[in-house]
Amino acid sequence: MTERKKLVAGNWKMNGSRASANEIRAMIEGAEALRDRVEMAICPPAVLAGLAGELLSGAALGLGGQDCHAERAGAFTGDISAEMWADVGARYVLVGHSERRTAHGETSDMVNAKASAVLRAGLQPVICLGESLSERKAGATLSVISDQLERSTPIPDETAGIVIAYEPVWAIGTGLTPTLDQVAEAHGRLREALCDRLGDRGRGVRILYGGSVKPDNAAVLMSTPNVDGALVGGASLKAADFLAIARASVGL
Ligand code: PGA
């Protein structure tokens, strides 16, 4: 069986300030004890990347970006390249989060180009996808997510790491979560699609679950087949909750 170390990543979205340094320090301390068991990262807003990058240097807690531009550099006002994320010490960049797809009109083709840029910079893209409530109600979940995976995921070279995050749009920030059967079904389908696309290497790709992951539901969600970690929004802002989720993800 392929071993996949769990990854628990915190997506801070547009939250946090320089005062969050205290929370980051508490997360670093907690992550140290979990170093061998689970990989952890936070994705703070870009303006905090410098501060976070310094605090996180050498820590068991990695740094991630929330988005990037597909180009390396140039006249793209307000944008940040994957190379810039690498420069501040990031290991991951989220691409295709539903809030970017919805509020910024990002298509799967654009997400694919961004994911390729993240690989070009030597980082791991966390490629987000998931169905809307109307797609779920129409029984289209599995076809929607397979299609998003196919279009949004570049074929990486042998050594590169990609990560998929399955996040049902209706579960994000709502306190709602799919049933464990629904999670297992979606992750199983994504695993099949990854193996179709990447051959045996598809077994090594981590598939995170995201959408209202909290300390009290993390253990069951994370023990569902093919769930290789969590992408955590609201509950990643407080060290106590985020660390509780990371511990629960490995049965502690
Ligand atoms: P949530 O967000 O945990 O607050 O639901 C998850 C996400 O958007 O990545």
At 64 the pLDDT is 98
231 lines ligand 1 (CB under 6 A): yes
What residues have CB less than 8 Å from 226, skipping those under 6 apart?
184, 187, 188, 190, 191, 207
Q: Please give the structure tokens belonging to residue 62.
A: 């990695």
Any ligand 1 atom below 6 A from CB of 233: yes
In the prediction, which pLDDT does 141 show?
A: 98
Please tell me which residue in 97, 131, 135, 187 is annotated as part of the active site.
97
pLDDT at 160: 75
Look at residue 158 in the predicted model and tell me its pLDDT: 74
User: Is the Cβ atom of 210 under 6 angstroms away from ligand 1?
Assistant: yes
User: Is 167 an annotated catalytic residue?
Assistant: yes
- Measured distance CA(222)–CA(209) in Å, rounded: 8
Tokens of residue 126, six digits = 């966390």
Closest ligand 1 atom number to CA of residue 210: 6
Q: Which of 63, 83, 6 is nearest to 38 (CA)?
A: 6
CB hemisphere CA count around 182 (13 angstroms)? 16
CATH class of 6-249: alpha beta
| CB count in 10 Å sphere of residue 187 | 21
Compute how many other C-beta atoms are within 10 angstroms of the C-beta atom of residue 73.
10
- Asked if 133 and 170 count as a contact pair (C-beta separation under 8 A), the reply is yes
Buried b / exposed e across 164-183, counting CB within 10 Å, b at 16+? Answer: bbbbbbbbbeeeebbeeeeb
To the query of whether residue 54 is one of the catalytic residues in this protein, the response is no
Maximal CA-CA distance, the chain:
48
Angle at which helix 21-32 crosses helix 239-249, to 10 degrees, equals 20
Ligand 1 centroid–CA 18 distance in Å is 22
Task: Tell which atom from ligand 1 comes closest to the C-alpha of 171.
Answer: 5
Ligand 1, pocket-test mutation among 133, 183, 213, most atoms within 8 A of CB:
213
Yes or no: say if 52 and 82 are a contact pair by the CB < 8 Å rule. Answer: no
List of the chain residues with pLDDT < 70: 1, 159
Would you list the domain boundaries of the chain?
A: 6-249
The strand pair at 6-11 and 124-129 is best described as unpaired
Query: What local confidence, expressed as pLDDT, does residue 159 receive?
Result: 65
pLDDT at 61: 98
